[in-house]
Chain A
């Protein structure tokens, strides 16, 4: 390995194929159909056959036990290893990390990482820990983030418009993304006038419920030539960092510290600075998160998140396109697929294939995800096998 980066093992790890089933509102479509659409698209995109895939990691939260095998048998029973991964909103991201490890450590050369989900009943381990809580809403993310938003606005004095503009940008990006759940641009007036949910968060500043699927194929650098893959369409994974919550240093800082630490670890592993990122897909389940996390990741200075957005620095064509896909607010957040969908967006952008929403000269991208505000994961992708 070079430079001590474990992702350099086996000749490096490359994303060679991407595929999605559009995110959509809950429907009667079986999850197998959602998932297989995404996997078949990823195989076709890579030019690989199912029988060449040696292992599969499936991120999902709400389908049930052994969802992967039940779905993937329809592609052929090849005997590959299938592992299901669950880590709340970050399930797909952690499936991707497992796939990276398998390739980098030379266990396999061709691995599928995918996410698929149906909208579930939201059962959470936090409700089964045998502990009572003073408030019935204590484990509901919308309440936590509304409290965080209020503190942010109190501290920064930006007014509700500052965070509503996140939703305007991301709904606008989603309108250009054929895989997005929402395909309509929204004006600031519309975002602000939509019904209030909690605190200053209106419904158009909150991610929707939904379902969908996303898949990527990972191949070792050693195998790229043998498999005859086009190096210009193979995007390298440079960093994978994961962490969980620490005791918070100051009220409300817990999730911000979590994002900062995981992003910093990933950037160090990749050997780049935050301001070198051209693309950043992050967990904007609630609008205020994008302002907070763009500061925490370091694409802008602390306290500058709203100004960064206001100046257009985070739009497609700006300094760093944040949530070019539309993010969780616009593209949607079906949980299992979300983190994989982020990776697919970054790969599409770096290849220069994001027709209609292409960020110019995109080279470096970070996919950052958190799960239930307590686990974090960051991946950095950059350049192709031709560079």
Chain B
């Protein structure tokens, strides 16, 4: 049974928050006042495209997700707390913004480059936080 995610806090509050549907994530970008492009994360001290200084007033929320560019299975736990195997992927989350994310599917056969992904909240073992997984845009929920 899926816990009520609205009772949990985001593990990375500067990056995302729970969307209105209580399951998806909205990503927090900064929209540059100079070039109007989106930067990620929102609290970066400069626009990643033109270098213009940005502050909290530039923050905008957008539905979290994007296009899957590449993915691999991590066969060993690369960092403490990471379970293995897991799947890491590069996702284009906005124009000219590529971020590595955790792909929440059981195995790579469910993925293909160019696939649309959406970001969902997944409850973490601590019982206090939710994290971010990317799943195929058509999927109903996370498997991981």
Residue numbers of A with Cβ under 8 A of B are: 130-138, 140, 142-144, 146-147, 149-151, 154, 195-200, 247, 251-252
Q: State the Cβ distance, A135 to closest chain B Cβ, in Å.
A: 5
Q: Given known contacts A147-B90, A251-B90, A251-B98, is B82 in contact with A136 (CB within 8 Å)?
A: yes
Q: Cβ of B76: which chain A residues have Cβ within 8 Å of it?
A: 195, 197-198
Q: Is the CB of A198 within 8 A of B72?
A: yes
Size of B's binding interface in residues, CB under 8 A: 33
Question: How far apart sit A70 and B16, CA to CA, in the bound complex (Å)?
Answer: 47
Assuming the contacts A131-B43, A251-B69, asked whether A143 and B78 have C-beta atoms less than 8 A apart, the reply is: yes
Minimum distance in angstroms from A160 CB to a CB of chain B: 12
Chain A interface secondary structure, helix, strand, loop or mixed? loop
- Shortest CB distance B96–A (Å): 7
**Within 8 Å of chain A (Cβ to Cβ): is B33?**
no
CB–CB A143/B14 < 8 A? no
Verify if B92 is at the interface (C-beta below 8 Å from A): yes
The docked-state distance in angstroms from the alpha carbon of A199 to that of B12 is 26
Whether, in the assembled complex, B141 has its beta carbon less than 8 Å from a beta carbon of chain A, the answer is: no
Answer whether A150 and B72 are a contact pair too, CB < 8 Å, given A130-B43, A131-B41, A131-B43.
yes
Report A180 CB to chain B, min CB distance, Å.
Answer: 25
Is there contact, CB below 8 Å, between B90 and A137?
Answer: no
B19: interface (CB < 8 Å): no
Q: Which residues of B contact A140 (CB under 8 A)?
A: 78-79
Q: Determine how close the nearest CB of chain A comes to the CB of B139; give it in whole angstroms.
A: 18
Residues of A within 8 A of B44 (CB): 131
Given that A147-B88, A154-B113, A251-B98 are contacting pairs, would A134 and B73 also be in contact in the complex, using a CB cutoff of 8 Å? Answer: no
Q: How far is the CB of B133 from chain A (nearest CB, A)?
A: 10
- A156: shortest Cβ distance to chain B, in Å? 14
- A195-B75, A197-B75 known; A135-B100 Cβ under 8 A: yes
- Judging by beta carbons under 8 Å apart, are A137 and B79 in contact? yes
Question: What is the distance, in angstroms, from B69's C-beta to the closest C-beta of chain A?
Answer: 5
